[in-house]
Structure 1
């Protein structure tokens, strides 16, 4: 039988989120819950696999890894975009890379969980309550009447904008190609510049695709434009915001705090400052980790494997 490895199944749900019976008689599936930090160890574990399934960008597939896997013929990634896969290297080796579609609005909802958690200091108040600490030790920040600034107004950014309006917030948006008409259609005002958006917003939320144009878009200069009472939210991609500049701004209190779901190294090292900074509300990249998304992803995985086995790969990337 063809061997297939499913990597990084952190929640141990890969086999229960979809019906694998259509490929079960042709494919032996090995599921790995633990994350492989070492490329050599990973290559040894999946060396006999013709098919590998990866969850988003948890495990990068670079040229060096492809070169260690001569039997690999099909790589299936959840999502229709994966910046951690070297598509050119895969193509050179005749490896088909396919994507899948998810479902639900998990990232939109988590964005608002982070905003509300920071604004109302929910973690601090909950810890105090559980630990017998002071009763009512903080004063929450109001959202009504405040300005929500969105960097990016695509599908997720547009949804975040509409929820901001429901909270009675003034919504502005900016990206390099955003037009006033598109912003207005989402209920937002087009900011004249990135700088204007940063300087005038009480909450800044990032909803951009990582590219050469957006990498490092928010650095020390940009963070310096923000209000000292403002919060930065990033549920998009970590490299859009300069890590060292953000840590410095948080440590020095130059912004009020940050809500983060994405990091340049994942899982986050145990001693990483983002784990301990008191003005950071951080989650372990769970924006897309919802039942609707997972069911969509794994059903797509099975469909992609079946199409490959039948000689007609679907959802090919690159």
Structure 2
């Protein structure tokens, strides 16, 4: 059995699971695969592929060029970058793993505080011999607007309440009883963007939600308000966000996700003012990797034994 583990950017996957216990040939791919030919060249001849989240799409066209593939494991219980119908049609079993829910909310608050208190700028200033040249914002008594109050948004909301913030939320299918049970007030989308001091996005990406934060929403925000996105890049209109930042219409942005990942070296977000940028670190923690890779090995072993587990449909 030959197993390929994709997108091991940090070259750490071997540390988080007992790959040797599979008794298989395991290859770790530590570079992005930018196109169909690169994917096929890297994965040709492999029986099993382990995909890290949505870093490398597994499309119908790519599956058609990988005739030896029999098992595809994705970290997480869903992956929009995998064509499940095409996999099923080709007899490829697709399995997933559990997804810890603490890591992304924790990074969300790291970004909120980094933007609000100008942490990267002050860090650079201290290293350059400077001292105190910005004035940070406050959280207590301010309003947190949560776009999407699911598993992750709810955790972010609870922390906002602990900081003494007034927390409001909106989504297309928001359950008012769930929100009120958390101590969160449901509001209309327009009100959320117009009145919040911090807006944080926790929404599932789909055709309907793509661009759910657009120019009209950004135009409603206070000039001092900040936007944080640790969910998916295409949920926010990048062009509209860049314009709002360059024109000083919002106070800043903390971003962990982007339309294209890895973010191209010449992407305009890299030089946008009042931003804190991280390279999709939301799920990149030791605890999450132990779950992802540990259960990926379990998935492979179970499939090899003829009893697949955590099969995605």
Instruction: Normalising by structure 2, report the TM-score.
Output: 0.97
Aligned partner of 1:208 in structure 2 is 203
Matched ranges for 1:5-20 at <5 A: 5-20=4-19
State whether structure 2 residue 146 is matched by structure 1 residue 150: yes
Where structure 2 has 5 or more consecutive residues not aligned to the other structure, the ranges are: none
Aligned length: 313
Q: CA deviation at 1:21?
A: 4.2
Aligned partners of 1:83, 1:279: CA distance in 2, in Å? 31
Of 273-282 and 95-104, the range deviating more from structure 2: 95-104
Residue aligned with 1:11, SS: coil
State whether structure 2 residue 31 is matched by structure 1 residue 34: yes
Aligned partner of 2:2 in structure 1 is 3
Aligned partner of 2:179 in structure 1 is 183
Q: CA deviation at 1:180?
A: 2.1
| Counterpart contact for 1:307–1:314, Cα < 8 Å | yes
Matched ranges for 1:47-126 at <5 A: 47-103=44-100, 105-126=102-123
Residue aligned with 1:124, SS: helix
Aligned partner of 2:290 in structure 1 is 295
Return the match for 1:276 from 271, 277, 288: 271
Residues 45 and 180 of structure 1: CA distance in aligned 2, closer, same or farther (over 3 Å): closer
Aligned partners of 1:117, 1:16: CA distance in 2, in Å? 30
Aligned partners of 2:227, 2:239: CA distance in 1, in Å? 14
Aligned partners of 1:285, 1:132: CA distance in 2, in Å? 31
| Counterpart contact for 1:219–1:242, Cα < 8 Å | yes
Where structure 1 has 5 or more consecutive residues not aligned to the other structure, the ranges are: none
Of 217-226 and 34-43, the range deviating more from structure 2: 34-43
Q: CA deviation at 1:212?
A: 2.4
Aligned partners of 2:70, 2:232: CA distance in 1, in Å? 29
Q: CA deviation at 1:277?
A: 1.1
Aligned partners of 2:80, 2:299: CA distance in 1, in Å? 19
| Counterpart contact for 1:74–1:97, Cα < 8 Å | yes
Aligned partner of 1:23 in structure 2 is 22
Q: CA deviation at 1:18?
A: 1.2
Q: CA deviation at 1:300?
A: 0.7
Residues 27-70 of structure 1: per-residue CA shift (max 9 Å, x gap):
21111111211320221121000100111011111111111111
| Counterpart contact for 1:267–1:284, Cα < 8 Å | yes
Aligned partner of 2:280 in structure 1 is 285
| Counterpart contact for 1:258–1:281, Cα < 8 Å | yes
Residue aligned with 1:71, SS: coil
